[in-house]
Structure 1
Amino acid sequence: MGPVTLPDADWRRDPALHAVVAALSNGANRPRIVGGAVRDSLLGRAVVDVDLATPLRPEDVMRRLKAAGLKAVPTGVDHGTVTAVAEGRPFEVTTLRRDVSTDGRRATVSFSDDWREDAARRDFTINALYADPETGAITDYFGGLDDLAAQRLRFIGDPAARIAEDHLRILRYFRFLARFGRSELDTEAYGACKAAANSLKGLSRERVADELLKLLALADPRFAVRAMLDGAIFAPILPEVTSADLLDRLIDREQAHDTPPYALRRLLALLPAETTVAVDVAARLKLSRKQREAMRDRILCKAILRPRHAAYAHGIEVARDALLLYADDNALEAALAAVTGWTPPRFPLKGGDLIARGLAPGPEVGRKLHAIQARWVEEDFPGADRLDALVAEQL
């Protein structure tokens, strides 16, 4: 096979990218595009972020960018990373590196001018592809192009050693498997992930949550999730996850009803449908308050028998998710139809309305208002005449 080059694409002609490349070039000694942009471009997928690697030291990168009139942000300068900003767009520029020491959570690095050495410290072969920004010529040190073509996910070098450097690579393996694999496990990689699964306990909950939610947000992560279950990968971090059956059903329903993936909905599908479990897991993963409430509300909707009542209490989106998660097959279509295109009404009464009708101000106003609203909801949000009758009953 002859030399492989990047396919033509609009992002390759981006003046902002060329401005950064020009600032960091010295003749033929140019930075190279690395990682996701190369991989995704070869697969014909959209390129979102363009990262660059360079033998220049971080201080030289900063100096050259500023001299070219570009903004330079030292986002991870101790590890060699500077963010270049051109025309308002960021480009992550990282100095070539070698690992000096690792402890499974973080690495101590030294800078290098050896491209192969930099490639060797990356995780998967398909992420260690470099491309010349001008010619598009690709440099591949570890068979990443063949793996990409075969939809094969392999670690660079010894999988156990790579995982020992950073335990998060276990979860990254399954996320990348869901994105780029073909429902086939690399025996060595999978064995190393299973053998090192308990090391996930040493990672910060935020890093674990970030990887899990990224995995669950993918189009169809079911093969990867089942592989994690079979390999006892969840056990050290989420022992509550014991089955993927509900996730299988949920994704089938999402696809049938043209519903985009939503990571928290899918996380709930992996957990027992109990608010205490959802709250505990969300707290353990250090999810935001908004995310915790989102999980709790979807489980609370399970106990509300009428779909529109659930939508009134928690919103259309939450009610739809609860139906997709928990509704019986024979009730799902009608339940979704009941909330699709429906706008929950606003309760039209306030305490002042009851006072105007003769109720004395005080705590009783709130109790009466709540009782009227409960009846109004129970009777499926009737109009003004019936609402007046409900008020009269309470007064």
Structure 2
Amino acid sequence: MIPFPTLPDAAWRHRAGLDRLTGALDAGGGAARWVGGAVRDSLLGLPVADIDLATRFAPAEVVHRLEAAGIKAIPTGIAHGTITAVSEGTVVEVTTLRRDVATDGRHAVVAFSDDWREDAARRDFTMNALYADPLTGELFDWFGGLDDLAARRVRFIGDPYRRIAEDHLRILRFFRFHARFGDAIDGEGLEACVARANDLMALSRERIAAELLKLLVAPGAVPVVTLMQARGIFRPVLPEIDAAGVARLAALAGREAAAGIAPAAIRRLAALVAPEAAEAVGARLKLSNADRKRLIQAGIAPGDESPRALGYRAGVESAVDRLLLAGADPRPLIDWERPTLPIGGGALVARGLEKGPDVARTLRRVEDRWIAEGFPDASRVAELADDEAAQALRSRRNA
């Protein structure tokens, strides 16, 4: 039974420029259809971010038609048939129908097609191979995607082993989509992923990192990561993730929920890997410098300072990470903005100190007392400056 009669009249379908775009690509004549995440998420009642349109027209014809309609056409992936269309500020990925000619698990050589079913057959999961008529909302489903969507079941199209052989990243995508959308896991797909887990070694670490970080913030991340670790999915590429790390992740997720703090992928990765492994994992996954720094710092014990003192010294983001991972309460940092010390070195010079090391040392002592007292106002800081400047002058005279 098909659980959805037509594509819902979701808000994204009324974005500026879409009518012009679909008209340019002859949607009324059946030459263009919405596809993928926008269709899937609309059927689930979820907000839609990215919009994809599939078309029978060859890439060069797509560009010609878009430009003739006054729509900007950017050849972002034209070799694979993808044009980024910008119509009245609305961005849509337009892709010519395709079939795979050759695959090696990382890249695909494609040929363009005019066969909708052929295009659907090369996609990964049934729920991602749903198409919709832009004008009528009529749905097109060749592989049972609507029933799988209704059952919250992530299922490969056709033979899971073949789908994984075509693109090894589909192993991680299977688990990520299950963590986001799934209910009972598809057993055939799971066993194929377990059997082919070593295929992940052929992928670039950047692709692995991108999928893993998305997975870690999905609603079902904890049970899915638990399953992945138990079945050996991580072992070929991230052997540092063990049962202890999964337990830390589960504890962290509970603390995030209790504190009302949104999950963060790097924080959750820091829970999965022991602190001593963070630097190596960050380098292997080729994380950005900022993410590597955050990953390493997250494992540092917060010490005895108050949460806000830690937030001032380490930064709010890093302090929240460290407190949550250590089992301490991060709530004092929610909506807290790091203050600025309301005094500078010039105020100490005005109190008689000479410019140079004495001013720097005295300013640090003022700042330390200001932090310890909970960031009092400028009048109290002036008192602290008077006291510390007087002590510094006495010490200088007695030296």
TM-score by length of 1: 0.90
Distance 1:391 1:133 in 2: 73
Q: For the structure 1 residues 342 and 103, does the alpha-carbon distance in structure 2 shift closer, same or farther, using more than 3 Å as the test?
A: closer
The Cα offsets for residues 163-219 of structure 1, whole Å up to 9 and x where unpaired, read as: 11111111111110011101x221221111112212212211211111111112223
* Aligned CA-pair RMSD: 2.3
Gaps of 5+ in 1: none
Match of 2:270 among 268, 271, 274: 268
The Cα offsets for residues 84-116 of structure 1, whole Å up to 9 and x where unpaired, read as: 111111111111111111111110111111111
Residue pair 1:372, 1:394 contacting (<8 A) in 2 also: no
Distance 1:341 1:43 in 2: 32
For residues 303-314 of structure 1, the aligned pairs below 5 Å read 303=303, 305-314=305-314
Distance 1:239 1:118 in 2: 36
Bigger drift between 8-17 and 360-369 goes to 360-369
Q: For the structure 1 residues 96 and 265, does the alpha-carbon distance in structure 2 shift closer, same or farther, using more than 3 Å as the test?
A: same
Distance 2:190 2:220 in 1: 19
1:249 and 2:247 equivalent?
no
Aligned to 2:340: 346
1:217 and 2:217 equivalent?
yes
Cα offset, 1:304, TM superposition: 5.0
Match of 1:336 among 331, 337, 350: 331
Give the match's secondary structure for 1:302. Answer: coil
Cα offset, 1:145, TM superposition: 0.9
Give the match's secondary structure for 2:299. Answer: helix
Bigger drift between 352-361 and 40-49 goes to 352-361
Aligned to 1:284: 284
Cα offset, 1:364, TM superposition: 4.7
Residue pair 1:73, 1:84 contacting (<8 A) in 2 also: yes
The Cα offsets for residues 221-250 of structure 1, whole Å up to 9 and x where unpaired, read as: 112111111121222222221131122122
Q: For the structure 1 residues 365 and 200, does the alpha-carbon distance in structure 2 shift closer, same or farther, using more than 3 Å as the test?
A: same
Distance 2:293 2:192 in 1: 36
Q: For the structure 1 residues 50 and 377, does the alpha-carbon distance in structure 2 shift closer, same or farther, using more than 3 Å as the test?
A: closer
Aligned to 1:63: 64
Letter in 2 for 1:82: I
Cα offset, 1:376, TM superposition: 4.8
Bigger drift between 286-295 and 103-112 goes to 286-295
Give the match's secondary structure for 1:90. Answer: strand
Aligned to 2:196: 196
Give the match's secondary structure for 2:109. Answer: strand
Q: For the structure 1 residues 374 and 147, does the alpha-carbon distance in structure 2 shift closer, same or farther, using more than 3 Å as the test?
A: same
Gaps of 5+ in 2: 394-399
Aligned to 2:397: none
Cα offset, 1:9, TM superposition: 2.3
Give the match's secondary structure for 2:34. Answer: strand
Identical aligned residues as a percent: 53
Q: For the structure 1 residues 379 and 198, does the alpha-carbon distance in structure 2 shift closer, same or farther, using more than 3 Å as the test?
A: same
Aligned to 1:389: 387
Aligned to 1:41: 42
Aligned to 1:78: 79
Give the match's secondary structure for 2:29. Answer: coil
Distance 2:248 2:27 in 1: 56
Bigger drift between 190-199 and 359-368 goes to 359-368
Aligned to 2:108: 107
Residue pair 1:219, 1:261 contacting (<8 A) in 2 also: no
Give the match's secondary structure for 1:84. Answer: strand
Bigger drift between 372-381 and 198-207 goes to 372-381
The Cα offsets for residues 282-301 of structure 1, whole Å up to 9 and x where unpaired, read as: 22222222222333343346
Distance 1:386 1:88 in 2: 54
Aligned to 2:396: none
Distance 1:377 1:277 in 2: 32
Residue pair 2:252, 2:271 contacting (<8 A) in 1 also: yes
Residue pair 2:353, 2:389 contacting (<8 A) in 1 also: no
- Aligned residues, how many? 386
